[in-house]
Chain A
Amino acid sequence: MKKEEIRNLLIEIFKEIAPDEDFSGLDDAVSIKDQINFDSMDFLDIIMSLRRECAIKIPEEDYPNFVTVESSVQYIESRLNT
């Protein structure tokens, strides 16, 4: 998957989890939590969706990689390529 495809997938997952939020102005370099009203349960939803969509298991110690969209995409890309 290309970086852009991963980003699109991530945004689709966000939309599924928070259907009433607007993600159009999301800044990829800024903390997701600072822009979107996500809580810990939403974060677990993201992890579960990625597991389902990309068939990757994300261990708890890797969760800090999901701070920004940029860092999330980078992490997913690295996992998909290993």
Chain B
Amino acid sequence: MINTKRVVITGTGIISPIGNTLSEFRKNLLNGKSGIKERKIPFLGSIPAGACDYDPLKYQNRKELRRGTRAGSIAIYCAREALLDAGLDICRTDTSRLGVYIGITEHGMVETTDTFRKIAENDYDLQFLSHHLNSRIVSNNPAGEVSLNLKIKGPHYCVGGACAAGNLGVIQGYQMILLGDVDIAVAGGVSESIHSFIIFSAFKNQMALGSHKDPEKVSRPFDKNRNGIVISEGGTLFVLETLENAQKRGAEKIYGEIIGCAVCSDASDPVVPSAKGQAACMQLALERAGLKSADIDIINTHATSTPVGDIQEINAIKKVFPDLKTTFINNTKGCTGHTMGAAGAMELAGNLPSFSDGMVHPAINIDTLDPECAMENLIANKKAPKKHIRYILNNSFGMLGINASVVVKKIDSGEDAP
């Protein structure tokens, strides 16, 4: 069956360690600003992390905040901002045709950790276990909180996909529109991971937590001395709809059109990523987009600043893009840290403005480029101009060997724009 629907991005809502609007986020990415600071983590001491500073009371009252989760709060904020950005009035929208699809790396760890600590403080008397716990830890929590807050009656659920989850959320929304299940999707990813010491501890014991005397330099994908990830929180949700729908309602903005995506598995190792699997994913996304590798203008790499992972991704790119003359490569995590479930969507959002400003934001903190990560057109440390940016490939990979790639096309003014 040939699907003739064209799915476009018409709104963006973002909370990140370097800004809570797309324009602020973009500005800081172009300037190579890091949002990583030392944070006191229970039982571990001072650890570099990416925290977000936003006003949760903008869209929730204090009672809702007390009942809900940090991930839910981030999701509500991003969803509200995305709908506002898209110019969609929720009161005039048939919400039974609106779906909420949110990628999560994990959910429930923060609440479970807090609950366990509170029980321990009360001599393990389980009567002190909060009756709110179940609704906080169910895996649909962030999407469900969005549904409750906005009175959205269409489907809401979360897509679990380790660190590929942000892209998975976008892909789920895209596919549900293609299937005709919904007309509008609020889709992307969120993470609250910095609020659990267990997550930091688990990465530390896995020898995958980064360190550096300067917190702003810890996250340094492709640098020879990189030594692990920086855990961050945040969220990014997009409004997705058909181009036809956007034009019909007079949408003012179209950030881009999703023209291809792919999800596949390495099936090789729980933790170590495979260049072969990642290459297969990128290749499939290109094929579905009807593009050749040379058509891609920007590849936003997933690279997380781990010694092994970054090399695997570069090897995968070399396989799919043997001739990189016109394709620029960048990375977002040097600035934001690894926003886990939010990363895929957030990094895509940070690159979408390239279609209009003609710039490619840099991968920062590359003091000494790892020769094994060296690639032509790797945009290191300083932003670069690029003419006629039309296609972005966004990578997101995760544990258990899950790979997700999304291809977005610029909507040409005068041709398709509303």
Contact of B62 with A19 in the complex, beta carbons under 8 Å? yes
Q: Pick from A24-32, A44-52, A73-81 the stretch touching chain B.
A: A44-52
Which residues on the A side are within 8 Å of B61 (C-beta)?
Answer: 19-20
In the assembled complex, A41 has its CB within 8 A of some CB on chain B: yes
- Assuming A51-B127, A57-B127, is B63 touching A41 (CB within 8 A)? no
Identity of the chain B residue whose Cβ is nearest the Cβ of A52 in the assembled complex:
B128
Closest Cβ of chain B to A49, distance in Å, is 11
Number of interface residues of B (CB under 8 A): 10
In the assembled complex, B66 has its CB within 8 A of some CB on chain A: yes
Contact of B62 with A41 in the complex, beta carbons under 8 Å? no
Q: Which residue in A18, A48, A52 is a CB contact (below 8 Å) of B131?
A: A48
Contact of B63 with A17 in the complex, beta carbons under 8 Å? yes
Which residues on the A side are within 8 Å of B131 (C-beta)?
Answer: 41, 44-45, 48
Closest Cβ of chain A to B208, distance in Å, is 38
In the assembled complex, B130 has its CB within 8 A of some CB on chain A: yes
Number of interface residues of A (CB under 8 A): 11
Contact of B128 with A48 in the complex, beta carbons under 8 Å? yes
Bound together, the chains give a CA A33 to CA B185 distance in angstroms of: 37
Contact of A19 with B66 in the complex, beta carbons under 8 Å? yes
Contact of A20 with B128 in the complex, beta carbons under 8 Å? no
Closest Cβ of chain A to B394, distance in Å, is 40
Bound together, the chains give a CA A18 to CA B132 distance in angstroms of: 15
Bound together, the chains give a CA A57 to CA B125 distance in angstroms of: 12
Bound together, the chains give a CA A48 to CA B131 distance in angstroms of: 9
Contact of A48 with B63 in the complex, beta carbons under 8 Å? no
Identity of the chain B residue whose Cβ is nearest the Cβ of A18 in the assembled complex:
B63
Which residues on the A side are within 8 Å of B63 (C-beta)?
Answer: 17-20
Bound together, the chains give a CA A44 to CA B132 distance in angstroms of: 9
Which residues on the B side are within 8 Å of A44 (C-beta)?
Answer: 131
Closest Cβ of chain A to B123, distance in Å, is 13
Contact of A20 with B127 in the complex, beta carbons under 8 Å? no
Bound together, the chains give a CA A11 to CA B165 distance in angstroms of: 43
Closest Cβ of chain B to A77, distance in Å, is 22
Identity of the chain B residue whose Cβ is nearest the Cβ of A43 in the assembled complex:
B131
In the assembled complex, B67 has its CB within 8 A of some CB on chain A: yes
Bound together, the chains give a CA A44 to CA B61 distance in angstroms of: 20
Which residues on the A side are within 8 Å of B66 (C-beta)?
Answer: 17, 19
Which residues on the A side are within 8 Å of B127 (C-beta)?
Answer: 48, 51, 57
Contact mask for chain B residues 109-138; partner A; CB cutoff 8 A; 1 contact, 0 none: 000000000000000000110111000000
Which residues on the B side are within 8 Å of A18 (C-beta)?
Answer: 63
Contact of B67 with A41 in the complex, beta carbons under 8 Å? yes
Which residues on the B side are within 8 Å of A19 (C-beta)?
Answer: 61-63, 66
Bound together, the chains give a CA A48 to CA B130 distance in angstroms of: 8
Contact mask for chain A residues 36-70; partner B; CB cutoff 8 A; 1 contact, 0 none: 00000100110010011000010000000000000
Which residues on the B side are within 8 Å of A57 (C-beta)?
Answer: 127
Which residues on the A side are within 8 Å of B130 (C-beta)?
Answer: 48
Bound together, the chains give a CA A19 to CA B130 distance in angstroms of: 18
Closest Cβ of chain B to A81, distance in Å, is 22
Closest Cβ of chain B to A56, distance in Å, is 12
Identity of the chain B residue whose Cβ is nearest the Cβ of A57 in the assembled complex:
B127
Identity of the chain A residue whose Cβ is nearest the Cβ of B61 in the assembled complex:
A20
Bound together, the chains give a CA A52 to CA B61 distance in angstroms of: 25
- The interface of chain A, by Cβ under 8 A from chain B, is 17-20, 41, 44-45, 48, 51-52, 57
Told that A20-B61, A41-B132 touch, could you supply 6 new A-B pairs with CB distance under 8 A? A17-B63, A18-B63, A19-B62, A41-B131, A48-B127, A48-B130
- The interface of chain B, by Cβ under 8 A from chain A, is 61-63, 66-67, 127-128, 130-132
Task: Jot down 23 A-B pairs with beta carbons below 8 A, ordered by A.
Answer: A17-B63, A17-B66, A18-B63, A19-B61, A19-B62, A19-B63, A19-B66, A20-B61, A20-B62, A20-B63, A41-B67, A41-B131, A41-B132, A44-B131, A45-B131, A48-B127, A48-B128, A48-B130, A48-B131, A51-B127, A51-B128, A52-B128, A57-B127
Top 9 A-B pairs ranked by shortest CB distance?
Answer: A19-B62, A44-B131, A20-B61, A18-B63, A20-B62, A20-B63, A41-B131, A19-B63, A41-B132
